[in-house]
Each structure stands twice: as C-alpha cells, then as structure tokens.
Amino acid sequence: MYMGETNAEPFELIEKLNEIGIALSSEKNTPKLLEMILKGAKTILNADGGTLYLATEDKRYLQFEIIINDSLGIMMGAKLGEPIPLDPLPLYDEFDKPNNTMVAAHAALYKKTINIPDAYIAEGFDFAGTRAFDTRMGYRSQSFLTLPMLNHENELIGVLQLINAKGAKDGSIIEFSKVSQRIGESLASQAAIALTNNKLIGQFRELFESFINLISEAIDKKSPYNGAHCRRVPTLTMMIADAACQADFGIFKDFELDEEERYELKIAGLLHDCGKVTTPVHVIDKATKLETIFDRIHLINTRFEVLKRDAEITFLNQKIAAIESSNLSIISELEDAFQQKIAQYSSDQDFLRICNIGGEFMRDEYKERLQIIATYRWIDPQGVETNFLTEDEVYNLNISRGTLTAEEREIINNHIVVTIEMLEQLPYPRNLRRVPEYAGGHHERMDGKGYPKGLTRDQMSLPARMMGIADIFEALSAKDRPYKKGKNLTECLQILGKMKLNNHIDPDLFDLFVSEKVYLRYANEYLDPDQIDDVDENKIPGYTPPFAYFFET
C-alpha cells in the first residue's frame, strides 16, 4: 500500500498506524522494539531506507542503532545483522556549539521535524557525507524525513530518519508529503512512548533487583554463610528449571518457562530466605552446641582447669600430711590416685569437646557419660559449690543432630514465615505475582509434613518444588558453613535419594536432577575439587533413570 502521496486513503493510514502502535506497546524487548519502529515507519511511509538513532544519556550524541536500505540490501544494527561501524553523531562541537549542519542533529537539538525533498539542492545542511556515500555505493539519496522522538516530558529519546519515499505506481523517488509527515510524527511519538515505557520497566527491574541485593547484603553482613546461600540457591534453581524445560518425558513433556516466568522464578530464588534478616545471628551461625554469643566450651575448659588445680592442691596437702605424720608409704598411692583423676578430667574434657561438635546422632552411652560429668562438683567464682555443668549446658550438649536445640530450630524455621509475611505485603505486578508462593514453599514436603503451611505435592507448583531441592542440595554441599564441612556429591545425592523415598522432595525432579547431571554442572562452578567425586548413579537410593518413563508410556 502506498503511503507517500496525499491521495492515500486516510482510514487505511489510521488503521495501519494503530496496528503498528499496538504492536509497539506490547513489545518488551528493546532491540526488537527498535527494529519494529524503523520497519513499521518504512512500511507505512513507503520509504526505501531509514536510520534510527538513540540519544545518549547526556544528550550530547546520537547513537546509531539501526540502518536499513532495501535497494542496497543493507541491514545493520540491533538484531538485524552486522554491527554499525559508525561513530556517534555529535550534537555539539568541541566548543560546545550546536551541530546545526547535520540534519539528524538539527532535528534533535530543536525538537522539530525536517522534511527535505532533495538533499542535493537543500540549503543550510551539510550532505557532503551523503554524496560521498552515494558515489561509493552507486545510490541517489533524495528525499529525507527526519523526526525527533520525544517522551511525555518533551525530552529527546532519539531520531527517526527515513530516506527516499517511493511512488505507488512506478516506485520512483518522490518527496514525503504533508500527510506522510503527520503520520510519521504520530508514529515517532508512539515509538518514543514505547521506548520510554521499556526504559521505565528496565529501571523498575534494576531498582527491584538492587533492593533484593540490599537484603542479601544485609544478610551477608549478619552471616556471610547465609548471604552466599541466598545467591547460590537461585542459580541452582534456574539450572533445574533449564533441565526441566529441555526434558521431553514424564511431567516435563509440556513444561516450559518464558522469559518473564524465568525472571519471576529467579526473583523468588533471590528472596527465598529474606526473612533471615530477623533471625538472631548467634542462631543462624551456631557452629557448636554450646555457642551463643561465644562458644561456652571455653568456660567448661576453665572449670576443668579449676578441678585439676583443686585436685592438685588436695593431693599436695595429703602428701604434706603424710610426710608430717611419717606415713610415707601412702605417698605413692596418693600420687597414683591424683594422676588417675587428672587423666579422667582430661578425658572428660576431650569428650565434651567432641559432644560440642554437631553430628548426625548422639549415642545413649554418650548421654549417660554426659550426665555423670554434669554432677561433678566445683567451686564457682562466687565461692559456691555447684554442679559442674548447668542444666542449659547439658540440654545443649545432648542435641542429637546438628547444633540447634528444638527452640533454636523453631527460630530458624520461623524465617520462612517471616519471608512469606514480608513478600505478601509487596504490590507485585502481574508477572511477579507468584514470587511469594515460589519463595515460601522450599521447606514444604511432598507428603504434607513440611512447614509452614503443610502443603502436599499436588498443592505446590513445579517451580516451588524445584527450589526445595535447590535449597537442600546447596545446604548439604556448602563448604563455607561454620558448623559442618561440605559433603561430596555422592553423600549429597545419597541423602537426597533417601529424602525422595521419604516423600520429602519431588521424585520426578530428583530423577531429573540426577539424570541430566544438574548436580555436576553446579558442582563444577561452586564446589571444591575434592567434593566432586565419581558418582555411581546406580547406587543412589530411589533414583529412577529416564528410560523407565519411556517403558511406562
């Protein structure tokens, strides 16, 4: 359809303009948007070529973004083809004077449309470069329509320049008509609004992600271990999501995530532990059973030294009494008893050091021995004879798994409640509305025995279940925790396999995690070499290889 002459049907022009405007308003990818603007303008105004410039942030240059010329077969910039080997067009010279001789610069500086019927006879503008280009390429640049793109605040966004309007009947080069100019101005305005909206969306994302990073930094300053965890879990979650999108079997056959859904999941991963900003650091980073603000094992070591000192004093007093009473025969017996007591105290001291380290279980004989030591008597700094261990110390040293008491574990668990409460208060745009669900579900179990909501597998989305596996695997393999060493791959997968059998984690996602070797891709990036052992997948509890799915179908 010809748009360059004034006898074009106005209704057709308006329809085409509306069609392009709607398309521009829905495109969120900036390179594609730039391409749509220039191609749409060329089509609706029936131009042979065109250039789209964007103003730099300081508004001192016009940056070439796209150049198209149908006759010459040129398509450069954005995602169209070759990069543009041209320097930005200056809006001011070295003396800070406006660049009035370049038509695109003039349109940008004075924010007005310039319609030139023939560049070779136009006055006031320097087209020497255009002539040189034409000579080199065997082309004739004639009519120019140069349109500034201005946002809602009348600020310069860029310049849209069209070259050589073509006649409808014979394709001859003609000038851009007044109707074409008005249509072009309307399109340039819509393009500026679309670009501004994209920029605002980008700035919103940047602000939102900066806010998220701020939370991660706050957690990091409290606990470097948990700050790193907050950054690694989303990375592993996205690795699992990529594998799920690529899989073509089982529940993954029709699973896919578009760009916005991937961004939503990434944001949820970054925020999955944001509630830990309220968790006391001595609980988050509790490295030993007796640690609070400091490790109380040092107090117990001091008490042992007091017991040893008192035993030595008692022994020396007994020895002196034996000498004074000429009862020298019992001195050897006293020395043996003293050495046995010192050896017992040293053994008990080493035993409590071991008890203080979090492990997988606490044996009954250890608990019995702990109770015996607790009843030793000593004189405290106030001169009062009392039990060697306090009730709280005994309670902490009796922890069967890890280093946390039941109360401390409840405090840790409460971080997910706080996370959900925090996230549900935010006014999300439509494309982020599932962030609270994804972030808040990583401690749920497939059998409904998790927390905080006791959701079952059917009540959870697939992305939320992905984050559950990512959270556990990162915690198991992390080498920077103060309370444990990072496990190797075989140990991690053995534990995860048992969790699958116990309906703790999603069975299909676990099988995918193993079969697609997601664990290995993550390990190569984040684990120490000595953690990356040779995994025998056939020995992983509960693991079902993908080919089993094909036999089932």
Least confident of 175-189, 195-209, 309-323: 195-209
pLDDT for the residue 363: 87
Q: Can you identify the CATH homologous superfamily of domain 223-283+434-552?
A: Hypothetical protein af1432 (1.10.3210.10)
Among 93-102, 269-278, 349-358, 506-515, top mean pLDDT goes to: 506-515
Residue 70's pLDDT band, with cuts at 50, 70 and 90, is very high
Between residues 478 and 108, the one the model is more confident about: 108
* pLDDT per residue as tens digits for the range 76-116: 987 655 788 889 999 998 899 999 999 999 999 999 999 99
- The per-residue pLDDT for 91 is 96
What integer is the mean pLDDT of 25-40? 81
Q: What is the percentage of the chain residues whose pLDDT exceeds 70?
A: 93
What is the phi/psi pair of residue 254, to 5°?
-110, 15
Average pLDDT over residues 231-247: 95
Q: What is the mean pLDDT of residues 23-28?
A: 72
Checking if the pLDDT of 279 tops 70, the result is yes
Domain 10-200, CATH number (from 3.40.50.360, 3.30.450.40, 3.40.50.720, 1.20.58.220): 3.30.450.40
d(Cα 67, Cα 83) in Å, to the nearest integer? 10
Q: What is the predicted pLDDT for the residue at 481?
A: 67
* Residue 371 pLDDT exceeds 80: yes
pLDDT at 226: 62
> Which pair of tokens denotes residue 449?
């025995």
At residue 10 the predicted structure's pLDDT band, cuts being 50, 70 and 90, is low
**What residue spans define the domains of the chain?**
10-200, 223-283+434-552, 297-403
Q: Within 10 A of 454 (CB to CB), how many other CB atoms are there?
A: 12
Is-above-0.95 flag for pTM?
A: no
> For the residues 173-191, what does the mean pLDDT come to?
90
Whether 553 shows a pLDDT value over 50: the answer reads: no
Does residue 172 register a pLDDT over 60?
yes
What is residue 6's predicted lDDT score, i.e. its pLDDT? 41
CB-based contacts of 246, cutoff 8 Å, min separation 6: 516
- DSSP letters for 417-466: HHHHHHHHTS---GGGTTHHHHHHTTT--TBS--SSS--BGGGS-HHHHH
Own/partner pairs, 494-500, CB within 8 angstroms, 24+ separation: 494/540, 494/541, 496/469, 496/472, 497/540, 497/541, 497/542, 497/543, 498/541, 498/542, 499/472, 500/541, 500/542, 500/543
SS3 string, 458-500, reads HHCCHHHHHHHHHHHHHHHHCCCCCCCCCCCHHHHHHHHHHHH
Q: Residue 272 in contact with residue 442, Cβ under 8 Å?
A: yes
Contacts 24+ apart (CB under 8 A), 293-296: 295/356, 296/393
Q: What is the mean pLDDT of the chain?
A: 88
Tell me, what's the pLDDT at 47? 95
| Residue 266 in this model has a pLDDT that exceeds 70 | yes
Q: What is the pLDDT of residue 348?
A: 95
- Please say if the pLDDT value at position 231 is more than 50: yes
150 has pLDDT over 80:
yes
pLDDT at 227: 60
Write down the residue that tokens 């578009």 correspond to.
258
Stretch among 20-34, 73-87, 116-130, 527-541 having the lowest mean pLDDT: 20-34
Neighbour count for residue 140 (Cβ, 10 Å): 14
**Average pLDDT value for residue range 230-236:** 90
Write the pLDDT tens digit of every residue in 392-430. Answer: 999 999 998 888 888 988 888 888 888 888 889 888 888
pLDDT in tens, 490-539: 999 999 999 999 999 999 999 999 999 999 999 999 999 999 999 999 99
Average pLDDT over residues 349-369: 89
